[in-house]
Amino acid sequence: MNILVTGAAGYIGSVVAEELIKEGHSVIALDNLQQGRCQAIYSEATFVQIDLADKEGLKKVVNNYSIEAVMHLAAETSVGFSMSDPQRYFTSNVVYGLNLLEAMLEYGVRKMVFSSSAAVYGEPDQIPITEEAPEKPANAYGESKLLFEKILAWYGKAYNLKHISLRYFNAAGATMRLGEDHRPETHLIPNVLKVALGQLPCVEVFGIDYPTPDRSCIRDYIHVVDIAQAHVLALNSLNGHCARIYNLGNGEGFSVLEVVQAAREVTGAEIPVWITGRRVGDPAILVASSKRISTELGWKPKYPDLKEIIATAWEWHKRHPNGYEV
């Protein structure tokens, strides 16, 4: 199939493109390179630099490359920034997503796998979080993802758009050639590894007064390859499903201090921590249940072990201490 991958120069999008090509698909890799890295574009993909704000440009891409399905990963993703600039997030994640849907409908493309977020749940009432949990986003980022999911549901009813949304928390790890390179970096594991590389003095831990075994927050970490393979499974299932939502979870969560200790064991570095106060709105535990996608699509994480996840990231960061920059 000819598959359009938006956000294909980003951390997850680049690995999704890699997995699709391994499966024999032709990938048209779309990115505006505002946050993505051109070095992350898979060599066998066809790269098109374009912004989702460009409605006519999107239509030309869909038409010229005979697109048959879309993997939509392009998004503004920082939770904190979404609270200070919600307009930017609703514009990028909702309005520009509508531009993409318009281009798809005009040229008869009726399949989309949407990279959503478990942030749609907000602070959950029960752990692990199932797809039946109430959706009550606590930030503009989660709200923007939920709004686009609702749009997909209406487009499915009105225009026969087949769609699957994947909700997950923290992508982690790396492949041999693709890794995590955000500017600025806000994710825990790459920042822990920056300390191991001597690029940061310590890891900042936001609160150790939570009702968890070691008093630090517990989060769900999923290897980026497992996430990418879930996208491929979702695409393959669209012939049978017309509308579905799946959580992706690792099966268990890991605390901040567990991540730091695992990184110490993997890297052999001391990795000092600096304890600060809680961040407003940080729940004690966020872990998603993947029972539905496991039962229906047969998805199972290949990298459930925390140290193995960190080890793949460590190998990439050692080879790319400055990210994709030479």
User: Of 11, 96, 141, 155, which is the active-site residue?
Assistant: 141
Find the distance separating the first CA and the last CA of the chain, reported in whole Å.
34
Q: Is the torsion defined by CA of 5, 10, 15, 18 positive or negative?
A: positive
- What three-state secondary structure class fits 248? coil
Q: Is the torsion defined by CA of 69, 13, 184, 273 positive or negative?
A: positive
Q: Is the bond preceding 184 in cis, omega lying within 30 degrees of 0?
A: yes
Measured at the CA of 203, the angle between CA 127 and CA 207, to 5 degrees, comes to 45
Cα–Cα distance measured from residue 47 to residue 259, given in angstroms and rounded to the nearest whole number:
35
Question: DSSP per residue over 106-150, as a string?
Answer: HTT--EEEEE--GGGG-S-SSSSBPTTS----SSHHHHHHHHHHH
Q: Is the bond preceding 272 in cis, omega lying within 30 degrees of 0?
A: no
Q: Is the torsion defined by CA of 75, 98, 61, 245 positive or negative?
A: positive
Can 210 be counted among the known catalytic residues? no
| Strand segments (E) across the chain | 2-6, 26-31, 46-49, 69-72, 111-115, 162-167, 170-172, 203-206, 218-219, 221-223, 243-247, 254-255, 273-276, 285-286
| Paired residues of 47 in beta bridges | 29
Q: Give catalytic residues, as residue numbers.
A: 141
